[in-house]
Amino acid sequence: MNLELFQAQNVIIQGITGMHGSFQARAMVEAGTHIVAGTSPSKAGSLVDEIPVYNTVADIQADFSVDASVIFVPAPMAMDAILEAVDAHIPLIICITEGIPLHDMIEVRRILATSESILIGPNSPGILVPDELKLGIIPAHLSLAGSVAIVSRSGTLTYETMAGLSERGIGQRYVIGIGGDPIHGTSFIDCLELFEHDPHVSSIVLIGEVGGTEELLAADYIAGSITKPVYGYVAGHHAPAGVQLGHAGAILGSQNESAAAKTGALKKAGVKTATSITSLLSLIAADHSF
Amino acid sequence: MNKPKDHLSPLSSCCRLERVKLLEYEAKQLLADAGVLVPVSSLVQTSEALSLPLPVVLKSQVPIGGRGKLGGVQIIEQVAELADAVEALLVLDIKGYLPTVLLAEEKLLIQHEHYLALRIDRIEGVVQLMAHPKGGVEIETHTSGFFTRTFEPDQVEAIASQLALSWGYEETLPATLLQYLLTDLYDCFVANDATLLEINPLIYTTEGTFIAGDCKMELDDNAAFRHDWQFEAKSTETNFVTLDLAGTIATIANGAGLAMATVDAVADSGLVPANFLDIGGGSDIKSLLLAFERLMGFTHLQGIIINIVAGISRCDEIARAIIAAQAHIPTLPPLYIRLAGTNYEEAMELLTDAGIATLPTLEDCIIEAQEAHHL
């Protein structure tokens, strides 16, 4: 990911006429995002507020160059919407939709591998660069511009972290939700790399969850490549052990997917960790009070 | 009914990935439909006459592993043994599950038993093949010998011959049979939106064929819209989890991550969380009221912490549900409410009019709950 992605000028909304699409388009405009158009099948020619609606992304591109798309299309059609944006060479694609079938995401990842497009999500709250750019549904009024970068797998827990920092007077440069679904585009590592290289970022907050192994890979990457201070919390310390069908999970080491195991890995990588979000916020605040 | 006694959802395996866990006979039907060899079988619900010749293997159909060690699999050699075995298996509890049906299968003539599975690699976003020459119940204890490959359908011939070699087959026939098997398994995996397809053991018979001895299969509930699934085992509920029936603080939050974080913060403070509840985005008043009523089943509650940070959901909807709950549930314990995000002002107006107080942060909710606790 490069920094220019976050200076998107012309933004479109795929699925702009739905309940969430239209509501959130308005919120993005209010936060200063320049939304030039939206798509909705068979609603071409209508307007959502002042925003023109087209049938397809290609139709929009006849009138505008598009830097980013935010997708609100329902899960059964979301794969086609993502692939339409990839096909149109849109540099930054953010998919808010949750619950896309995993086999659809396998297909998306296969095609993304040979594309220049960056996909954030699915099941992502999107990206917020406070006071500059809002792509998605992160509530901008809970943010404060500054130099902390937040990356998280969760939606609402991201807002909680951001709001908690803002209340303590600690501003944010980036707030990115990479998405809660098991298969997604941009990873923790992609975001960590961006944060390390952006001189506007002074410190990093990583919010993980039980399940999967992405936090473990992030820990390895932090140990080897990140020089800025990193704070981490993995949600789910009190989640009950799951009942797993089959042996594949255990063979592959699903015991390493617990919140405690991941927290241990992050700690070993030099991350300042906490076992609850409230104590994480206190930890960051203590380091930022001078 | 096929219900676990102690209802815990597979929260730690993944919060949002809802999976339909198939029973063995359901999974084997899908395998057979895809052209994979499975044992000749029939379903048994009573001890009436079997349509299969003896000996048979009688297997309890429960959605959990480890039944063999608990007596859930019986070999029947004599007709006289059948009725008692069926009766006993139908009432045999396997880790909290009782079967509604048994599977009777022909007893295979085993030469080798292998392990073969297709799963989804979340990080790479690909289908992964996992295999081991020695299948069976001890598979998790093997520390080496696993054959793992990204499964590329156009490379199935090469994968099959490598797999055959790794299993010690040097002739061409087993490799060819494995190629057909892998092709059919992959088609079955994709066509059914499976997230796991595990054959353990995969039996190589004395006649030189591969037959699926047991099969565990999980399907992606998010793909249910494009299937006509009529399976016995339904997907497990993941948005409500009982943590402690004697817990003193119930939690309600929106989003799985925030709901887990709320539970973690309550537990970290020394209070005992009773439950995990993720009301998700866009919950209506009716489903929220049901959630409140459900919490009334915890008899030791001293408070409910409601932690909402609305993005796609709207605070005013939550406020309306809280007001309705206050009106309808006379035994409601004290509420510690924190709302933030979308439509916050509207929500505050509604709650203020109803005389319901809120707190600015989750931390404040916990501190107030702690203070009340120590009175």
**Closest residue on chain A to B255 (Cα):** A156
Using CB atoms, pick whichever of B125, B255, B307 lies closest to residue A106: B125
Place of tokens 């979308």: B342
Q: Provide the pLDDT for residue B314.
A: 86
Give the list of residues 6+ apart from residue B154 with CB closer than 8 angstroms, or none.
Answer: none
* pLDDT above 80: residue A26: yes
CB contact B316 to A (< 8 Å)? no
Report the 10 Å Cβ neighbour count for A56: 15
Question: A241-288 pLDDT, tens per residue?
Answer: 665 566 776 666 677 888 999 999 999 999 999 999 999 999 999 998
* Peptide bond connecting A122 to the previous residue in cis, omega within 30 degrees of 0: yes
Record: contact B311-A139, CB cut-off 8 A: yes
Using CB atoms, pick whichever of B122, B281, B310 lies closest to residue A183: B122
- Confidence class for position B15, pLDDT limits 50, 70, 90: very low
Q: Provide the pLDDT for residue B321.
A: 92
A chain contacts of residue B255, beta-carbon cutoff 8 Å: 154-157
Place of tokens 């809802």: B18
* pLDDT above 90: residue A174: yes
Closest CA to A55 of A76, A41, A71: A41
Record: contact B340-A109, CB cut-off 8 A: no
**Judging by beta carbons within 10 Å of its beta carbon (0-12, 13-18, 19+), is residue B199 exposed, middle or buried?**
buried
Topology at the third CATH level for domain A126-288: Rossmann fold (3.40.50)
Cα separations (Å) of B58 from A153, B89, B366?
45, 9, 53
Closest-CA distance, A9 to chain B, in angstroms, reads 23
**Closest residue on chain B to A25 (Cα):** B312
- Name the average pLDDT for chain A: 94
CB contact B190 to A (< 8 Å)? yes
* pLDDT above 70: residue B237: no
Domain B16-37+109-236 CATH superfamily = ATP-grasp fold, B domain (3.30.470.20)
A chain contacts of residue B119, beta-carbon cutoff 8 Å: 248
Using CB atoms, pick whichever of B12, B119, B267 lies closest to residue A258: B12
Give the list of residues 6+ apart from residue B76 with CB closer than 8 angstroms, or none.
Answer: B54, B55, B56, B57, B58, B82, B85, B104
Q: Provide the pLDDT for residue B8.
A: 32
Record: contact B261-A100, CB cut-off 8 A: no
Lowest mean pLDDT segment, chosen from A210-214, B72-76, B202-206, B299-303? A210-214
Lowest mean pLDDT segment, chosen from B158-162, B289-293, B352-356? B289-293
Which of the residues B15, B21, B62, B241 would you substitute to probe the A interface, choosing the one with the greatest number of A C-beta atoms within 10 Å? B15
d(CA B16, CA A281): 26
Question: B241-250 pLDDT, tens per residue?
Answer: 889 999 999 9
Record: contact B126-A109, CB cut-off 8 A: yes
CB contact B12 to A (< 8 Å)? yes
* pLDDT above 70: residue A232: yes
- The pTM (predicted TM-score) of the whole model is 0.91
* pLDDT above 90: residue B92: yes
Lowest mean pLDDT segment, chosen from A175-184, B18-27, B111-120? B18-27
A chain contacts of residue B345, beta-carbon cutoff 8 Å: none
- Choose between A240 and B280: higher pLDDT: B280
- Confidence class for position A81, pLDDT limits 50, 70, 90: very high
Question: B193-206 pLDDT, tens per residue?
Answer: 999 999 999 999 99
**Given A200, A238, A247, A288, the catalytic residue:** A247
Copy the structure tokens of residue A182: 């098991």
CB contact B87 to A (< 8 Å)? no
Q: What are the structural domain ranges in chain A?
A: 3-120, 126-288
CB contact B141 to A (< 8 Å)? no
| Dihedral-angle region of residue B193 (phi above 0 means left; psi in -120 to 50 means alpha; beta otherwise) | left
- Confidence class for position B1, pLDDT limits 50, 70, 90: very low
- Confidence class for position B3, pLDDT limits 50, 70, 90: very low
- Confidence class for position B280, pLDDT limits 50, 70, 90: confident
d(CA B159, CA B130): 11
d(CA A255, CA A262): 10
- Confidence class for position B2, pLDDT limits 50, 70, 90: very low
CB contact B225 to A (< 8 Å)? yes
Closest-CA distance, B322 to chain A, in angstroms, reads 20
Closest CA to A149 of A69, A70, A207: A207
Range A219-245 average pLDDT: 88
Q: Provide the pLDDT for residue B62.
A: 93
Class of the CATH domain delimited by B240-373 = alpha beta
d(CA B332, CA B310): 24
A3-120 CATH, one of 3.90.190.20, 3.40.50.720, 3.40.50.11440, 3.40.630.30: 3.40.50.720
CB pairs under 8 A between A and B: 242
Q: Provide the pLDDT for residue B240.
A: 86
Give the list of residues 6+ apart from residue A289 with CB closer than 8 angstroms, or none.
Answer: none
Lowest mean pLDDT segment, chosen from A74-83, A115-124, B8-17, B133-142? B8-17
d(CA A239, CA A210): 8
CB contact B96 to A (< 8 Å)? no
- Give the orientation angle of helix B362-373 with respect to helix A277-288, to 10 degrees: 120
* pLDDT above 80: residue B14: no
* pLDDT above 70: residue B375: no
* pLDDT above 90: residue B162: yes
Range B138-150 average pLDDT: 88
* pLDDT above 80: residue A91: yes
* pLDDT above 70: residue B9: no
Q: Are B192 and B227 in contact (CB under 8 A)?
A: yes
* pLDDT above 70: residue B12: no
Which of the residues B24, B264, B370 would you substitute to probe the A interface, choosing the one with the greatest number of A C-beta atoms within 10 Å? B264
Helix residue spans in chain B (DSSP H): 24-33, 79-90, 156-166, 172-191, 256-268, 285-295, 315-328, 344-353, 362-373
Record: contact A183-B264, CB cut-off 8 A: no
Q: Provide the pLDDT for residue B16.
A: 43
Question: A28-60 pLDDT, tens per residue?
Answer: 999 999 999 999 988 999 999 999 999 999 999
Using CB atoms, pick whichever of B123, B195, B267 lies closest to residue A102: B195
**Residue B202 phi, psi (nearest 5):** -95, 115
d(CA B306, CA B254): 9
Helix residue spans in B192-276 (DSSP H): 256-268
Question: B281-301 pLDDT, tens per residue?
Answer: 666 788 888 889 999 999 999
Q: Provide the pLDDT for residue A246.
A: 64
* pLDDT above 50: residue A10: yes
B chain contacts of residue A240, beta-carbon cutoff 8 Å: 8-9, 11-12, 241, 243
**Closest residue on chain A to B22 (Cα):** A245
Q: Provide the pLDDT for residue B232.
A: 78
Class of the CATH domain delimited by B40-107 = alpha beta
Distance of alpha carbon B347 from the chain centroid: 36
Q: What are the structural domain ranges in chain B?
A: 16-37+109-236, 40-107, 240-373
Record: contact A183-B8, CB cut-off 8 A: no
* pLDDT above 50: residue B13: no
Lowest mean pLDDT segment, chosen from A191-195, B102-106, B144-148? B144-148
Domains A3-120 and A126-288 share a fold: yes
**Residue A109 phi, psi (nearest 5):** -65, -35
Q: Any idea of the CA torsion for B361, B363, B369, B374, to the nearest 10 degrees? A: -150
Q: Provide the pLDDT for residue B18.
A: 67
| Dihedral-angle region of residue B330 (phi above 0 means left; psi in -120 to 50 means alpha; beta otherwise) | alpha
Which of the residues A135, A206, A245 would you substitute to probe the B interface, choosing the one with the greatest number of B C-beta atoms within 10 Å? A245
Range A139-164 average pLDDT: 95
Using CB atoms, pick whichever of B124, B265, B311 lies closest to residue A278: B265
Sheet of A203-209: strands edge to edge?
Answer: A133-136, A126-129, A172-177, A145-152, A203-209, A230-235, A272-274
Lowest mean pLDDT segment, chosen from A105-109, B29-33, B71-75, B313-317? B313-317
- Is residue A237 annotated as part of the catalytic site, yes or no? no
Range A217-243 average pLDDT: 91
Range B346-372 average pLDDT: 96
According to DSSP, the β-strands at B240-242 and B275-277 are: antiparallel
Record: contact A154-B139, CB cut-off 8 A: no
